[in-house]
């Protein structure tokens, strides 16, 4: 009996060939790289909240991506292979011995089942939208590696050799690089031609700004008609110091506010690459300094934000309509 069980376990493990593990990991690493490129292009029309890497910071960021990106993607691909593709391969091998149907169909079905499980777990732990594109992409992310493994097995049955690990990863890197370049180029062309709309902040009048705005750590800003305001744990510029420091204080109590439609009070408006945007100046008599809350978001979901410190690596605080 022990010999029979051992034989079944050995045959089940044969679904985990080293060549297929590396093939599945390489395919997953490629699709992760493309997904990240698509996600980045998708931010072309988003509000950057005055932050961003420029000059030397951009060069350092690009260098970090080129140096650390490939090994991180490879590690992510291997993690995906051992949690999606290969467990599904083992389950398919076991199911095929007890039920009719091609092993490839079982493999595909089990990887979709595992994808649904991991997606549900991600929704619970990471707060992904259950109907969002990210959740759907995660659920079906095991399909391309399964198809690649099926193709490799078909070639072996036809007299071919198992895929060489080094060649698999080299081709994966070339495909990922080419696909990412195409995605970024398409996004750049779309932005230049207007197919991707450049972000435009909403234009809000004083009457539209009145109301309750809430942020993290219990921050509440009540803007009243006539220029009065009430603050509760609202971040503010420190009384002493310049705008390049990340330090800020939290203020409570009564305050005043007014709408600045020319960006005259924006502390970053005098920079070489700055753009003047409408904002709300909040003044508290005995706490901190005047704080410029820039208007962002959209017409239907407006935001007030302030960036404490250097725009290249500042501390962003956002208030949203309560």
Q: Which residues pair with 220 in a beta bridge?
A: 214, 232
Give the pLDDT of residue 158. 78
- Residue 227 and residue 152 in one domain: no
Quick count: other Cβ atoms within 10 Å of Cβ 171? 14
pLDDT above 50 for 10:
no
Mean pLDDT for the stretch of residues 302-320: 84
Q: Are residues 188 and 249 in the same domain?
A: no
- Both 129 and 213 in one domain: the answer is no
3-state secondary structure of 131: coil
Question: According to the model, what pLDDT value does residue 269 have?
Answer: 64
Query: Tokens 């590690």 appear where?
Result: 75
**Span 199-218, average pLDDT:** 91
Last residue of a domain, which of 193, 221, 249?
193
- Give per-residue pLDDT as tens, 217-276: 899 999 999 999 999 999 988 876 555 566 788 999 999 999 998 777 777 666 545 577
State how many domains the chain has: 2
Arithmetic mean of pLDDT, 91-105: 84
Token pair for 87: 């467990």
Burial (CB < 10 A; 0-12, 13-18, 19+), residue 18, is exposed
Tell me, yes or no, whether 68 and 186 share the same domain: yes
Query: Are residues 211 and 80 part of one domain?
Result: no
pLDDT, position 8 = 47
Q: Kindly state whether residues 160 and 223 are assigned to the same domain.
A: no
pLDDT classification of 6: cutoffs 50, 70, 90:
very low
Residue 161's pLDDT band (boundaries 50, 70, 90)? confident
Say if residue 12's pLDDT is above 50: no
pTM: 0.71
Rounded mean pLDDT, 137-160: 85
pLDDT tens-digit readout, 45-79: 788 777 655 444 455 666 777 778 889 999 999 99
Give the domain range for residue 254: 206-321
Q: What is the pLDDT of residue 305?
A: 93
Average pLDDT, the chain: 82
Choose among 52, 118, 112: nearest CA to 88: 112
199 in a structural domain: no
Tell me, yes or no, whether 201 lies in a domain. no
User: Among residues 193, 222, 240, which one ends one of the domains?
Assistant: 193
Q: Are residues 177 and 222 in the same domain?
A: no
**Which 3 state secondary structure label does DSSP give 180?**
helix
Q: Reduced to 3 DSSP states, what percent helix, strand and coil does the chain have, rounded to the nearest 5? A: 50, 20, 35
Residue holding tokens 């961003």? Answer: 52
Residue spans of alpha helices (H) in the chain = 2-13, 18-42, 56-80, 86-96, 103-126, 133-139, 143-157, 165-193, 206-209
Question: What mean pLDDT comes out for the span 162-184?
Answer: 90
């Amino acid at each position: 009996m022990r010999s029979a069980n051992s034989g079944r376990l050995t045959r089940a493990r044969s679904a985990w060939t080293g060549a297929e593990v590396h093939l599945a990991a390489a395919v997953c690493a490629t699709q992760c790289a493309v997904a990240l490129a698509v996600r980045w292009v998708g931010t072309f029309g988003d509000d950057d909240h005055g932050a961003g890497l420029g000059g030397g910071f951009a060069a350092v960021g690009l260098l970090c991506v080129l140096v650390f990106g490939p090994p991180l993607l490879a590690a992510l691909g291997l993690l995906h292979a051992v949690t999606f593709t290969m467990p599904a391969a083992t389950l398919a091998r076991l199911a095929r011995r007890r039920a009719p149907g091609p092993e490839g169909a079982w493999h595909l079905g089990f990887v979709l089942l595992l994808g649904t499980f991991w997606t549900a777990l991600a929704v619970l732990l990471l707060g992904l939208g259950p109907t969002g594109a990210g959740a759907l992409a995660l659920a079906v992310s095991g399909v391309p590696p399964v198809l690649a493994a099926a193709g490799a097995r078909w070639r072996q049955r036809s007299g071919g050799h198992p895929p060489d690990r080094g060649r698999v990863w080299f081709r994966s890197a070339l495909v990922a690089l080419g696909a990412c370049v195409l995605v970024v180029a398409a996004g750049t062309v779309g932005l230049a031609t207007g197919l991707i709309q450049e972000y435009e902040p909403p234009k809000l009048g004083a009457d539209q700004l009145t109301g309750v705005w809430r942020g993290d750590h219990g921050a509440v800003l009540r803007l009243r008609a006539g220029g009065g305001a009430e603050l509760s744990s609202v971040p503010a510029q420190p009384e002493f110091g310049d705008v390049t420091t990340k330090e800020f204080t939290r203020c409570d109590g009564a305050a005043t506010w007014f709408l600045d439609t020319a960006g005259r009070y924006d502390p970053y408006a005098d920079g070489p690459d700055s753009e003047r945007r409408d904002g709300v100046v909040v003044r508290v008599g005995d706490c901190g300094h005047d704080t410029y809350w820039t208007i962002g978001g959209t017409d239907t979901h407006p935001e007030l934000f302030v960036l404490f410190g250097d725009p290249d690596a500042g501390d962003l605080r956002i208030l949203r309509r309560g």
